[in-house]
Every structure is written in C-alpha cells, then in structure tokens.
C-alpha cells in the first residue's frame, strides 16, 4: 500500500471515529433533554384514534427491550391524574429496573388517559373500552407482543384504573398492580372530577365490588403498595382486606413516603420485578 493510500485510510478511520462520537454525543444530549437514559431500550410514540373516547386522538408511548418485542409479554402501565400523560412514568428508574430484568423484561405501553378519566367509562368517554378494546390490541399489533401474557398496573389514578379494568375483564390479565392506588371508601371522600356523580362512584366502587364478588381478581398475582403517609393508605388497606377475605392473593406493601413521584421512582424496580415474575409464570 502506498504512503498516500495509507494516509487516506487513516484519515477515513479518524473521520469514522469522529462521526460515531458525534452520533453518540447527540444521543446523550437527547437523553438528557428527555430527562432519562433509556439504557438501550427503544422509546416510540404513536397517535391512536379512539372511537370510544369521543373520536379523539390519544398518544401512546411504547418501550421495547433491546432485540425487539416480538413474542414478549406486555405490561400496560396507567398514569396518574394530572401527570404528563403517556410519558409521565419514563424515568431513569424505569429503564434501570427494566435493564436489570434482562431477557424477562416485558414490552411496555403507556396509554394516555387524559387529565382525570380515572380510566372508566363515564360521561366524557368510554375510557375503559378505549384501553381494553383499542389501546391494548393496538400495542399487541404494533409490538408483536404475546397477547396471552399481559399484565396491567398503574400509579394513583392508574392504580385504581388497573384494578377496575381487571374487574371488567376477568381472565384477561396475568397480574394487576396498584401503586398508591386512588381508592376511596365512600363517594363523599372522592376528589372532584374523579367520578361524574354518586352513581358513577357506586358503579366503580372497588371495595364494595371485592366484598360482593372478588372472583375477577382471584387466581392471579395482585400487588398494592403505598407510602405510610399516603392519603389513600386506608382505602387501599380496606380493598386489600376485602380481596383477601374473598380468597384473592394480594401482596400489600407499605414503605416510608407520601403520594409523590420520588416514592414511586424509588420502588419502580420492585414493581417491575413483580410484573416480570408474574408474566414469566403466566399460562393462558
């Protein structure tokens, strides 16, 4: 090889190193701007047209493990009230927890549930139908996930929604989790906008439903946790007691903390281990 050719080869190699460095640098800048490091997981978004919710378009956020989601289980994770919709639970803690699961990491879909839908069918839209009949099937199709291995969970409003949706679709989910689930013991205690009226509350009263017929929740792993200073602690305890009295198996955790993001991020790895373990064992 001539001296000129060698110099050209060295120059091209140096340019390639620079290009790779620039690409990695831009990726790092994007990750910092987003506020999290995805650690090799792919984050994508889609707009889902929902006939169930007033013919509107709702954002869906997907998290896919390295190597793709084909054949993997699916975790449906519902956000809380007033959060940044489908992206509100993307965090370093989420991706670190998923990364530690290795090959057992599920694909995840974060549907947009609006400001205060509480994930149930009500006057402003059929939010439960949207999740069950639109968002989940769309996620399975898009990701090629295993439709037989699906878990559902959520934070605050989303924790309530996960248990209410599991009630409406018995046998659909391999596990259900509620993290500081927004469960009130009576209609008068509920937050403004959580339900349309007293009748709407009664139709989605999880404690009363568990006392009357806990069968939709029996036979699958259930999780309820919350901070010791969480305002929903009493309601979640009452719900867990009703489930256990009816023969359901509930993991109930109380850790130091309140109803806020730092608490949930601190325990995100615990949540993900629960879902991954249940999904791995699930046979449908």
Q: Where are the domains of the chain?
A: 1-34, 39-281
Residue 1's pLDDT is: 52
Residue 24's pLDDT is: 34
Residue 8's pLDDT is: 53
Residue 11's pLDDT is: 44
Residue 82's pLDDT is: 86
Alpha helices, DSSP H, located in 101-232? 127-129, 136-143, 157-168, 198-203, 206-212
Residue 13's pLDDT is: 44
- pLDDT tens for each residue of 156-207: 999 999 999 999 999 999 999 999 999 999 999 999 999 999 999 999 999 9
Residue 85's pLDDT is: 76
d(CA 126, CA 79): 17
How confident is the chain (284 residues) per 10-residue block, as mean pLDDT? 49 38 38 79 98 96 98 98 84 98 98 97 98 99 98 99 99 99 98 98 99 98 99 99 98 98 98 99 87
Residue 15's pLDDT is: 38
d(CA 50, CA 63): 21
d(CA 61, CA 43): 7
CB atoms within 10 A of CB 246: 15
Residue 4's pLDDT is: 46
d(CA 179, CA 160): 9
Report if pTM > 0.95. no
d(CA 227, CA 272): 18
Looking at domain 39-281, its CATH superfamily turns out to be Alpha/Beta hydrolase fold, catalytic domain (3.40.50.1820)
Residues forming beta bridges with residue 62, ordered by sequence position: 44, 109
Residue 2's pLDDT is: 56
């Amino acid at each position: 090889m001539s001296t000129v050719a060698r110099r050209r080869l060295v120059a091209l190699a140096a340019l390639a190193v620079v290009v790779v460095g620039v690409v990695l640098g831009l990726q790092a800048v994007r990750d910092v701007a987003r506020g999290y490091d995805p650690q090799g997981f792919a984050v994508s978004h889609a707009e889902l047209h929902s006939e169930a919710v007033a013919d509107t378009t709702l954002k869906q956020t997907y998290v896919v493990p390295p190597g793709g989601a084909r054949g993997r289980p699916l975790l449906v994770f519902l956000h809380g009230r007033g959060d940044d919709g489908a992206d509100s639970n993307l965090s370093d803690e989420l991706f670190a927890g998923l990364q530690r699961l290795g090959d057992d990491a599920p694909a995840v879909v974060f549907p947009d549930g609006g400001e205060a839908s509480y994930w149930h069918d009500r006057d402003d839209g059929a939010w439960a139908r949207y999740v069950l009949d639109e968002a989940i099937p769309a996620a399975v199709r898009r990701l090629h996930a295993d439709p037989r291995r699906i878990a559902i969970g959520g934070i605050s409003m989303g924790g309530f929604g996960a248990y209410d949706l599991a009630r409406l679709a018995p046998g659909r989910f391999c596990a259900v989790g509620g993290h500081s689930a927004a469960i009130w013991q009576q209609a008068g205690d509920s937050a403004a906008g959580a339900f349309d009226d007293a009748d709407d509350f009664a139709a989605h009263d999880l404690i009363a439903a568990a006392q009357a017929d806990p069968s939709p929740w029996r036979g699958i792993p259930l999780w309820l946790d919350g901070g010791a200073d969480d305002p929903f602690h009493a309601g979640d305890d009452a719900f867990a007691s009703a489930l256990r009295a009816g023969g359901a198996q509930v993991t109930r955790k109380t850790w130091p903390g309140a109803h806020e993001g730092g608490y949930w991020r601190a325990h995100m790895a615990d949540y993900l281990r629960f879902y991954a373990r249940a999904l791995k064992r699930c046979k449908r």
